[in-house]
Each structure stands twice: as structure tokens, then as C-alpha cells.
Structure 1
């Protein structure tokens, strides 16, 4: 006890100063950071320290932290924090859009622009953003994501549509002079006409850096549109291309042969709207060579508003040697059962996804086309989707919207694929149950047990209105996200 009290007394006699240093010892000199922290003035932290702290945060948290004070807000504009940014242009956010356009257009390296393409004021802001971005020579990618396949002219170009789209294309051509790695027109039909010019300019910069080219379009009127001829030679410079989307109008054996020079091609996406008279099509020989050169390349075929071609797509568009992995048919107003039957016999080793989506027929007769085919006593065929689930060993997605389907066939698909089927979408109103219109609870329970995850058919409230009724809403609003998702690795 004496020793402990003596020790405490000695310590007290030496005393402490405010910095915690013992009296008699030399005082350590405070750094600027120590002074800031000890005084509680966090706003004066050096920018180097703030940058280190911000580098550990997500983009969302950085933005929140930047609202603390002016000094913190200044740090967030360091170029390293804006490697990627998505600009969103929609009605009611004009001031925010202008601010982001003004402050970030010179910093961002990989830009995605989501915009309302049918609102004139949004198109004005979209054009202004492009002009600001066009001075950013550090830009590595430009990916457009319009709300619809169509673009309207801004108010200032009212009644001068041709001049506006000509000027818009000239702005976009500026970006093609940059050493871009990714470039997409976002399915815009108006920009599709300038694809050859875009390719020519990109091939004159650093084409070996280009990994993604989104050049396919979505036609507003598939029976009346201009054909854009693309010379196959224009693709030859892009040796490291990984993803390419084009319209079927530009696809031929010469293009496939040219793409054999792209050593790292992972995905080829083709949009079909119509087939013009004289189109050469593709041959099985060209596809066989393509598969040999690119054994792991995905081929995704998408039919969009192809009202005529959907009836005979198996006679010319589809080839047995295609490495077809994804078949998407959107709003073609017909389900081709013969094509569905071919899938399991032509593509058993490659097919991964089947999506057939239509608006429900106004008279409801068309919605029964799939099941009526197999009610006929003279046709003794198994359901084509069940056959695909059985024979296509890599099938992981089935989406059937706008058509009636039997409950027992859903269960058969689930049992055949198990939890390897990652996505199965059908509408509850379209399921034909032995117990009437109401979907029995045991179906949902059984399917969930098979998939080893919760599953339920889609309610009407979960469907886009255009699927329930062709006059409710715009089909672009449903298909644009599906189409643009193909460009994501």
C-alpha cells in the first residue's frame, strides 16, 4: 500500500499538461492535423486526408458526406471518384440535370445517359449534356439508354426534325474521334442511319481498345424504315471486340467472316424487324466456321415487332449451325409453335433463354394459340417448352407472357430443370388449372420447393400494362430495358 501511494504521489507531483505530456519531458510539436482534430474543426481536415477517407466510401456515401461543408464538397470532385457515372434526364429534375452536366461532364470517364426521349425539354438537356461531354477527351465510353426507341426534337428545333438529327449525329461523331472502349446508340432508330460513319471514325482512332459496340436499333414501324447498309470491312479493325449488337439488315456471311478476326468475341446480338427483298441471309457454312473460331460466343437473336417474319423465321433467319443461346420475341402478335419445337432439336447444347412476350389478344383468341395446338387429336406432340426443359441442358430462363399455359406443364418444366432454372415468368391469369381459374396454393408451394427459393406467377399488377392490353402504355417501356441489358457483361 505504501509503494502504490508513493508512486501515485510522485506522478501527481510531476503533473500533466493539456496535451498529455509529462512535465519535465520535451513537448512534441503538434501537426496541423493534430490541431484540427483536437480543436474539433473537422471542416479543416487537409484534402489529402479527406481524399483517403472518401476513397473508402461508396459513391452514394461520398455524395452524402460531401454535403457536410464546402471543403468536403470540394474533395468529391476529384477525377478518381468519377470513373463511372449515370446521368439521368427526366422531367422535374432540370436544375439537378444542368448542375451535374456542368460539373461532371469534364470529369467522368465512363458515361451512361438515361433520358426521356419523348419529352422535348429532356431532349434539350440531353443535347446540352452531349455538347458538354464532347469536350472531355478523357472519355472512355458513351452508352445511351433512351426511354423509347424514338427521339423527338427539342422545342428549339420544332418543325425542323431533319436538321436536328443531322446536328445530333455530328455531335456524336465527335465522340467517335476519341479512343473509346464502349459505345452504344441505345437502340435509337434515328441514329442507326449513321452507323457506318461511327464505325469509320472509331476505326481511325484506337480500334484495338474497343470492347463493346451497341449498334442495333429498335424500329418504330417495322414495315417502313430506311435500310442502313454496313460494309463488313468496317468491323475488321476491332480485333478485341467482346460484345457487338447489330440489326439483321447488316448481317451476312461476310460480316460473320470478318468477325472471325475478333479474337475475344463473347456475345453477338442481332435484332430482327423485317427482312428486305434481296437480303442475302446467312449460311450454315458461315455459322459453322463462326462456332469453330468462337466456341464460347453467345448468339442472341431478338425479334421486335417482326409481324411478318415471326411466321416463317425457321425458313431463313434461323440456321441449325447458329450457336443460339438466347431467343427473344417481343410483341410480334403471334407465337410460332413450329419454331418452339425446333429449339430442343437444333440447339440442345447452347440454348439458355427463351422469352416470348406479347400483349394479350383483345378478343383473347390469340392467347390460346399455344395450348390449342396440342388440343387437336391429330397432333400428338409434347409441349415444346417442356421438351426444351428436358433436352436443352443449359436452359436457365423461360419467360412466356401473353399466352395461356397449362399448370401441369409448368410443373414439368420445374421438375426437369430444378434450381438450374434461374427465372420462370408466367402470368397468374394465363395459367390453366384443373381447379379452375384460381391458382392453387399447392402449385406455388411445389414450385418453390423444386426451385429451392420462393416462386409465384406474376399478378396483373406486376405486369406492364401493355402486356395486359395492347392499347395501354408503350411496348418500348417494357422492351428497352430488356434489349439494353444485353450490352452488359
Structure 2
């Protein structure tokens, strides 16, 4: 039944392809055979067209299609189809997730490990799935990966593995690839020695490194990456790995201009202490990479913001995932002149009128804002939009955030805001489920 469905799909693809370029004579023969007895000899479908069809098929359908005939099976194993692959690994209990069949994994390792270039592993929260990912990594001794991503759909996953087992598997890829350009290893037990192996073999090619929530990496480890990977363009890490030395290393003449720096500022325990970064270090970064984006995610408690927003910081995208005080938002308007996007999850019951006006005055590049559980008077909000004007390409405000006043109410504010934006705008509605 599956083969019949797929042959029908293939017939549709063949009909579309016969008008395009490539093997017109074979397509003509296909059409002639079809007109004679109503049957199509799919073995005559041009290989380049069949390959394009396979590229659009989901993996499972592609596997079923490979059983139609020998020619289709050969196309199934074409190296071009295996350069980009995502291993989906989960336990039966996680039935809402798809899984890559073990038999297919064996085939890939046996026949296509040397073809893999862009690979990711998506695992659920179980240790078994993370172990399976490490087992596959350990067998990629003939690979030459350009990108590798380890994605946990839920914690703890990789963090529950013995560190030595994980490091051993990852080192296989670091040593054998020698051309990694993109590496995403968030929430893993990667450590300083393994990063040294990474840069020893891939320093000339590494451009993107994402490694937030990696507790075994020290500032010295990430500094080693910055010192040797001069082509690094994008870096994501936790705040405890950020240092003045790292920023100065990224600002050296040898280093390519950084395009994105993402920093997660996360409090594991209430009252946690955070270090501060010198303004001179940020200034060095801006001078070296004047167009770089600094993205900062804050998940702090109210009494932990002391080291932040005292001096000017070149943040461009700012997200507050927990409630943030009126005072902190007031400092944002004073110290973040490069701000492009601001998202505030929650605030207290004191209206943010003055803070929004100050942000509109000082942050002349602001083009996107989102407010969650906050309060803003309708008049102040209209004034904010009027000051920012049409550059506000994204404006997401819950209707409950806007407090009616003598000038504007919830029924007419959208007209005034739309006028200043130059497009139709309505506040977001609270879901009713």
C-alpha cells in the first residue's frame, strides 16, 4: 500500500518534471509507454528528476520509495541525500516524538558516514537517548562534518551521562572532521580539554559556537577558543564564561569581526552573585565589531541586577524572562543606546510610563518591543509609539497591559496607535482557554 501511494506521488513528480530540463528523450518514452497500455515504467524516470523528488520526501516515505525497484534503491543511497541528516532519538514512552529507526541508523553508519556533513541529534530527556547519540558519534570515524548540533528537547539528557563517555564520543568528531564550522552543544558536559581538541583540529574553520549551560567549561576554556579561532562569527554562552579578557581577545586585530554574541544570564539560586564587565571592554568590542549584535537573556531575581546596567552596555536585543523592577527598566533607558528589541515578561503593579518614554528618547534604534504582565497608561503608550514612529516593526502588547485614562480607552487606542505606526494595529488578546 505504501509503495502504491509513493508510486502515485512519483507519477505526479514525473508529470511535472517532463516539461522541465533534463533527459527530455526519456520523458518522451515515459509518456509513450503510458499511452500504450496505461502503465508507466518508472525505471525510465531520469535520475536527476528522481533525485529531486527524493529530496522533498520525508525520510520514512523515502525509505518506502527505495523498495519500489533497484534503481530507486540506488537513488536512495545517493551521497547528496545524506549530507544533511537529523538523528531523532527517543524512548517509546515519548511517543509524541518521531524516532530514526535503528536499522536505518546502521545503514547510515555503514554506507554514508563519510557523506555526512550537516548533522544534528535531537534527543528526549532520557539517558538512554543521549547514550544512543554518543554511540553514533563514536562510530563517525570516517566523517568530515561541517556542522554538528546536539539538541535536547528536555533536560537532563546529556547531562546525566558519565562525562568521560560523552567527551570520548565528541572527541571522535573533533579529531576526524577537521572542518567544523558550526557547533551547538548546549546543556552538555563538554569541558576545557575537549575544547582544546576542538580548536587544535578546527581552528581555521570554526565560525559558530553555542555552548550555554555547560558547567564544566571555565572562562579559560572559552578564552582558548577566542584566542585561536580567529574566524569566529557567532558565540553563545552563559554569563559566568564572559570576561574582560574574552572581550579583548574577540576585539584583537587578528580576530574576524564578530556578528552575534548571545549571553544567558541565569540565576540558579536566589541571591547568586554576578561579576561585572568593564565599560572599556565593551567599548573595545564595539570599536572592533561596530555592527555586532549583543543578545542578552536575563532570568534573575530582583535583588540580583546590581552589577547590570550601571554603565553603558552595547546590548541590541534584551529579554527579561522573569519579573523585572521599574528601577532596572529605568536604567535600561539610560545605558542601552544600541537597543533594537526589548521583551519584558513581567513587572510589578507600578506603571512603566516614565521608563517607556525614556527608552523611546534614548534608544533611537528600537524597532521591536513586547510587554507581558505589566502596566502602562494608554496615554503614555500612545506617546511612546508616537516618538518611535514607523520604525516599530514589531509591537506586541497584551490588551490587559494598557490602563485606560482620561484621554484614551481600550476601544479607541488602536486607532491612535495605528495612525503613528502607519499600519493597522490591535493589542494582543489574552487567550480564553
SS in 1 for 2:149: strand
Structure 2 spans left out of the alignment, 5+ residues: 1-23, 35-39
- TM-superposed CA distance for 1:86, in Å, is 4.2
Aligned to 2:229: 238
User: Alpha carbons of 1:35 and 1:290: their partners in 2 closer, same or farther (altered >3 Å)?
Assistant: closer
Match 2:329 to one of 311, 318, 340: 340
CA distance in 2, matches of 1:433, 1:392: 26
CA distance in 2, matches of 1:227, 1:53: 47
Aligned to 2:299: 304
Aligned to 2:192: 196
CA distance in 2, matches of 1:409, 1:356: 17
Deviations, residues 279-338 of structure 1 (Å, cap 9, x unaligned) = 7632122222221111111222221245542355234xxx32x3221222212x4x2333
Aligned to 2:78: 78
Aligned positions of 1:42-53 closer than 5 A: 42-45=41-44, 49-52=46-49
Is 2:340 aligned against 1:352? yes
Aligned to 2:321: 330
- TM-superposed CA distance for 1:216, in Å, is 1.9
Is 2:426 aligned against 1:456? yes
Aligned to 1:21: none
The answer to which of 195-204 and 453-462 deviates more is 453-462
Q: Residue 130 of structure 2 contacts residue 161 of structure 2 at CA under 8 Å; is this kept in 1? A: no
CA distance in 1, matches of 2:306, 2:382: 29
Match 1:170 to one of 168, 171, 174: 168
The structure having more radius of gyration, on CA atoms, is 1
Aligned to 1:265: 258
Is 2:69 aligned against 1:98? no
SS in 1 for 2:390: helix
Deviations, residues 200-233 of structure 1 (Å, cap 9, x unaligned) = 1111112111110002228xxxxxx888443423
- TM-superposed CA distance for 1:385, in Å, is 1.8
Aligned positions of 1:95-244 closer than 5 A: 96-98=99-101, 101-102=105-106, 106=113, 107-117=115-125, 120=126, 123-136=127-140, 137-148=143-154, 150-152=155-157, 164-177=162-175, 178=177, 179-186=179-186, 188=187, 191=188, 193-217=189-213, 228-231=218-221, 232-244=223-235
SS in 1 for 2:180: coil
Q: Residue 98 of structure 1 contacts residue 125 of structure 1 at CA under 8 Å; is this kept in 2? A: no
Aligned to 2:13: none
SS in 1 for 2:339: coil
**Equivalent pairs, count:** 385
Is 2:364 aligned against 1:368? no
CA distance in 2, matches of 1:445, 1:323: 34
Q: Residue 251 of structure 2 contacts residue 289 of structure 2 at CA under 8 Å; is this kept in 1? A: yes
Higher relative contact order (CA 8 A, sep 6+): 1
SS in 2 for 1:461: coil
- TM-superposed CA distance for 1:367, in Å, is 3.3
CA distance in 2, matches of 1:454, 1:416: 17
Structure 1 spans left out of the alignment, 5+ residues: 1-29, 154-160, 219-224, 359-365, 372-381, 466-489
Aligned positions of 1:59-78 closer than 5 A: 59-60=56-57, 69-70=68-69, 71-72=71-72, 74-78=74-78
Deviations, residues 34-85 of structure 1 (Å, cap 9, x unaligned) = 6555323342025xx2334543886358986775534446524423234434
Is 2:383 aligned against 1:390? no
CA distance in 1, matches of 2:356, 2:416: 19
- TM-superposed CA distance for 1:183, in Å, is 0.7
User: Alpha carbons of 1:246 and 1:428: their partners in 2 closer, same or farther (altered >3 Å)?
Assistant: same
CA distance in 1, matches of 2:306, 2:128: 41
Q: Residue 196 of structure 1 contacts residue 234 of structure 1 at CA under 8 Å; is this kept in 2? A: no
SS in 2 for 1:209: coil
Scaled by the length of structure 1, the TM-score of the pair is 0.67
Q: Residue 270 of structure 1 contacts residue 300 of structure 1 at CA under 8 Å; is this kept in 2? A: yes
Aligned-residue RMSD, C-alpha: 3.7
Q: Residue 272 of structure 1 contacts residue 306 of structure 1 at CA under 8 Å; is this kept in 2? A: no
CA distance in 2, matches of 1:211, 1:345: 33
Deviations, residues 4-28 of structure 1 (Å, cap 9, x unaligned) = xxxxxxxxxxxxxxxxxxxxxxxxx
User: Alpha carbons of 1:327 and 1:55: their partners in 2 closer, same or farther (altered >3 Å)?
Assistant: same
Q: Residue 405 of structure 1 contacts residue 430 of structure 1 at CA under 8 Å; is this kept in 2? A: yes
Aligned to 1:3: none
Q: Residue 134 of structure 1 contacts residue 171 of structure 1 at CA under 8 Å; is this kept in 2? A: yes
